[in-house]
């Protein structure tokens, strides 16, 4: 097996105080928001706690090799101290098989009656390669900077330039692999803000060139990608490899791109598409359907959104999203005992990437969108906070200032995909 610096660092942890802080942060990156660290020598068998709605979670962090014996010791302590608990989360960089994991969870429930969630070596490492990657730099006491940096598969220099095809804004993205070693470039990515809300997208669709591609050391990649969103507020754009590492264009280059694109922007157009009324759009026979798909070699299901136009008027499709709303009244009620201004989370959303080059949907045609793997883990909220979510929907911008949405069966499909992602972590 190839040397993995993240796994090697997890195997050699000696700074136990920082390890507990790291574990609490790692849990936040995996959806345990509002976690309260306790730790120390008088923690009464609780390193962190989280109470939300009817769920009372106790976290245990350790690096003991006899991880199972330590788990039973900590659980016994929770019982002896009489702590309220519905779930135990154990974080230990242990290396156990799927069979050992399943047997442990079953035995633990039989012994204590609590739900058990295990974060072992592979699950921790997977989080650190994806959502929780910022923690590698935050904890140099655990993840030796030189070791992490030297063993990255590649260093990619990114440049982005503005170009157009008539009215379609394009970004020419070039990437140069400075090494060491080759890298599989899987997709391009971009993030921007609109009305104060952060948006992000990943895509494999290219206007020129194709992805994925193996970029050898000292080789150059040159692609053009369509920007069918508010590119004037771009904050990041670049490439993403198969291990979900991102390579961004420098900030100065990004600002130059936006300035050039604005300078050469065409005047506002007036055509039939712009002049469509809301009544015309409403009269079109269109359908939105969320489905779960798994292709050959994929480890988990992927969320796919199918937009179908069976109406007589062609519609131009723009951004696609999956969105959910939280029960704000319930959250305010839960925080009513706290002094001062109350702030609660009202909604969440994820952008979906276009799977094909077609933007226009004529009668009988479909446009498909995909939730990229790098963002799929965020769907775990639909499981961990299911009781707090009152609505889940998908939406597609059309024509180009209107939006069509659908809620039927969306929650069920999204939860199914989220569970498939979680199960793939082992």
Within a domain: 268: no
Same domain, 112 and 62: yes
| CA 343 – CA 347 distance, rounded (Å) | 13
Q: What does the alpha-carbon distance between residue 288 and residue 277 come to, in Å, rounded to a whole number? A: 20
**In angstroms, rounded to a whole number, what is the distance separating the alpha carbons of residues 28 and 134?**
12
Bridge partners of 48, per DSSP, are: 37, 59
Rounded Cα distance between 75 and 143, Å, is 29
Residue 124 inside a domain? The answer is yes
Q: Confirm if 30 and 127 have CB atoms less than 8 A apart.
A: yes
Residue 62: per-residue pLDDT: 93
Q: What is the pLDDT of residue 358?
A: 67
Of 114, 135, 150, the domain-final residue = 150
Q: What's the whole-model pTM score?
A: 0.46
Residues 126 and 21 in one domain: yes
SS3 of 71, please?
helix
Same domain, 238 and 287: no
Do residue 123 and residue 16 come from a single domain? yes
Q: Which of 150, 175, 205 is the last residue of a domain?
A: 150
Entry field: residues in the chain: 426
Q: Is residue 25 part of a domain?
A: yes
Beta strands in 333-388 (DSSP E): 347-354, 360-361, 365-370
Closest residue by Cα to residue 379 from 407, 410, 409, 400: 410
Residue 271 within any structural domain of the chain: no
Of 150, 172, 191, which residue constitutes the final position of a domain? 150
Q: What is the CATH number of the domain that holds 139?
A: 3.40.1350.10
Statement to judge: residues 343 and 419 lie in one domain: yes
Q: Are residues 327 and 390 in the same domain?
A: yes
Residues 191 and 288 both lie in one domain: no
- 160 and 99 in a single domain? The answer is no
pLDDT for 357 equals 66
* pLDDT on residue 2: 54
Measured CA distances, 89 to 78, 302, 385 (Å): 12, 26, 16
Residue burial 44-56, b: 16+ Cβ < 10 Å; e: rest:
ebbbbbbebeeee
Any bridge partners for residue 61, and if so which? Answer: 91
What does the DSSP 8-state code read for residue 235?
E
User: Does residue 269 fall inside a structural domain?
Assistant: no
State the residue range of the domain holding 223.
Answer: 156-263
CATH code at 311?
Answer: 2.60.40
In this structure, the answer to whether residues 287 and 415 fall within a common structural domain is: yes
pLDDT of residue 180: 66
Q: Domain check: are 141 and 170 in the same one?
A: no
Q: Domain check: are 213 and 302 in the same one?
A: no
pLDDT at residue 273, as a whole number: 47
Q: Please check whether residue 273 lies inside any domain of the structure.
A: no
In a domain, 270, yes or no: no
> Dmax of the chain from CA atoms?
73
Q: Kindly tell me the burial class for residue 285, based on how many C-beta atoms sit within 10 Å of its own C-beta (0-12, 13-18, 19 or more).
A: exposed
Tell me the three state secondary structure of residue 393: strand
Structure token pair of residue 38 = 């306790």
Best CA proximity match to 421, nearest among 390, 393, 394, 381 = 381
Kindly list the averaged pLDDT for each block of 10 residues, start to end, along the chain of length 426: 79 90 91 81 76 85 93 92 92 93 94 94 87 86 79 77 87 88 86 84 84 88 89 92 86 92 78 67 88 85 91 85 89 79 82 77 84 82 87 87 89 92 81
Residues 93 and 19 in one domain: yes
Distance of alpha carbon 57 from alpha carbon 116, whole angstroms? 10
Determine, yes or no, domain membership for 272: no
Domain count, the chain: 3
φ, ψ dihedrals at 186, nearest 5°: -95, -35
């Amino acid at each position: 097996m190839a040397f993995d610096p993240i796994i090697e660092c997890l195997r050699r942890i000696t700074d136990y105080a920082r390890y507990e802080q790291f574990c609490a942060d790692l849990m936040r990156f995996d959806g345990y928001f509002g976690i309260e660290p306790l730790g120390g020598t008088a923690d009464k068998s609780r390193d962190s706690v989280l109470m939300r709605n009817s769920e009372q979670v106790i976290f245990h962090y350790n690096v003991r090799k006899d991880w199972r014996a330590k788990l039973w010791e900590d659980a016994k302590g929770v019982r002896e101290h009489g702590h309220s608990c519905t779930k135990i989360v154990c974080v230990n960089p242990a290396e156990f098989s799927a069979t050992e994991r399943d047997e442990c969870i079953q035995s633990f429930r039989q012994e204590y009656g609590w739900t058990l969630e295990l974060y072992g070596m592979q699950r921790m490492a997977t989080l650190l390669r994806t959502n929780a990657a910022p923690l590698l730099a935050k904890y140099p006491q655990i993840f030796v900077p030189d070791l992490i940096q030297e063993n990255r598969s590649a260093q990619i220099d990114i440049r982005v330039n503005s170009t157009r095809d008539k009215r379609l804004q394009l970004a020419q993205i070039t990437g140069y692999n400075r090494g060491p070693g080759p890298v599989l470039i899987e997709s391009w990515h971009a993030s921007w803000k609109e009305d104060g809300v952060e948006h992000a997208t990943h895509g494999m669709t290219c206007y020129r060139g194709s992805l994925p591609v193996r970029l050898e050391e000292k080789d150059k990649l040159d692609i053009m990608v369509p920007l069918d969103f508010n590119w004037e507020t771009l904050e990041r754009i670049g490439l993403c490899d198969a291990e979900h590492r991102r390579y961004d264009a420098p900030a100065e280059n990004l600002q130059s791109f936006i300035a050039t694109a604005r300078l050469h922007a065409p005047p506002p157009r007036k055509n039939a598409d712009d002049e469509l009324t809301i009544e015309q759009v409403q009269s079109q026979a269109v359908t939105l359907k969320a489905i779960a798909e798994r292709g050959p070699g994929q480890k988990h299901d992927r969320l796919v959104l199918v937009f179908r136009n069976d109406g007589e008027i062609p519609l131009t499709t723009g951004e696609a999203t999956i969105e959910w709303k939280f029960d704000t009244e319930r959250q305010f009620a839960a925080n009513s005992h706290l002094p001062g201004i109350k702030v609660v989370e009202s909604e969440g959303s994820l952008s979906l990437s276009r799977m094909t080059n077609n933007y226009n949907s004529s009668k009988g045609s479909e446009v498909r969108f995909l939730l990229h793997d790098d963002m799929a883990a965020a769907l775990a909220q639909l499981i961990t906070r299911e009781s707090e979510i009152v609505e889940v929907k998908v939406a597609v911008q059309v024509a180009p200032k209107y939006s069509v949405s659908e809620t039927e069966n969306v929650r069920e499909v999204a939860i199914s995909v989220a569970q498939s992602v979680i199960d793939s972590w082992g």
